[in-house]
Structure 1
Amino acid sequence: MSVGVVVTLAACQDSGAKNRAAAIGDADVGATLIGRYGCGSCHEIPGIENARGLVGPPLDHMGRRIYLAGMLPNTPANMVQWLRDPQAIVPGNAMPDMGLSRREAADIAAYLFKLD
């Protein structure tokens, strides 16, 4: 799939978010990683036990959101990039570098894209 098609699909924010999630990574593994890395200490995350943090934004409806960090188009590639190195995108923001591998970030992104 070309980059233009992926961007177009993300921009439409269609009900295909769950299908895109499956193409990104393993959402079930992503849910486990979200718990392991403690993402819920900063974010409210539907479907994740005790994810009631109030530091960062709630992560509900991530599959339908237009932007990440208020500036990046919400595409799978951008979400993986944001999860892996948020400080490179918005220096000084509250999101820490969690040391995620590309695979881990893709699996977490798959879970978040399912939150339609």
Structure 2
Amino acid sequence: MLALAALLCGCADKSEPPRAIMGADADRGLAVMDRVGCTACHATPGVDWPRGLAGPSLHGFADSPMIAGQFPNRPDVLIRFIKDAPSMASATAMPAMPLTDAEARDVAAYLYTLHD
């Protein structure tokens, strides 16, 4: 009986609800990423050129449980990381980005649309 219960728990729906960011706009986020050059370092769905190879691909970002392999993939953490990654991960090659809080929220909203 215990084995059956464990098996059934393993089949439970573990999908997370979409990460909504109040007042953010994913389309604006992609435009911000294009303007500040995120795609020069990151391969980004919906962007054919440039196809960045210096940073990790952003394909499936929304499905990742971690940011930079170190931080929980939550909106508040992501917004902070987008704006100033070096303050969180000193070894990162990602520079602090010249973004407003609203722009960082928009970028985060776009990243949360990227599912595998």
Alignment TM-score, normalising by the size of structure 2: 0.80
Q: 1:74 to 1:64 in 2, by over 3 A?
A: same
Q: How many residues align?
A: 103
Question: For structure 1, which runs of at least 5 residues remain unmatched after alignment?
Answer: 1-11
Contact 2:21–2:75 (8 Å) recurs in 1: no
Q: Deviations over 1:77-101 (max 9, x none)?
A: 1110100110111113100111211
Identity among equivalent positions (%) equals 37
Equivalent-residue separation in structure 2 for 1:87 and 1:24 (angstroms): 26
Max Rg structure: 2
Task: Name the amino acid aligned to 1:94.
Answer: A
Does structure 2 conserve the Cα–Cα contact (< 8 Å) formed by 1:13 and 1:64?
no
Residue ranges of structure 2 left out of the alignment (5+ in a row): 1-12
Query: Which has more helix, going by share of residues?
Result: 1
5 Å-filtered alignment, 1:58-77, equals: 58-77=57-76
Q: TM-score, normalised by structure 1?
A: 0.80
| Equivalent AA in structure 1 for residue 98 of structure 2 | G
- Quote how far apart the aligned CAs of 1:46 are: 0.2
Q: CA RMSD in A?
A: 1.9
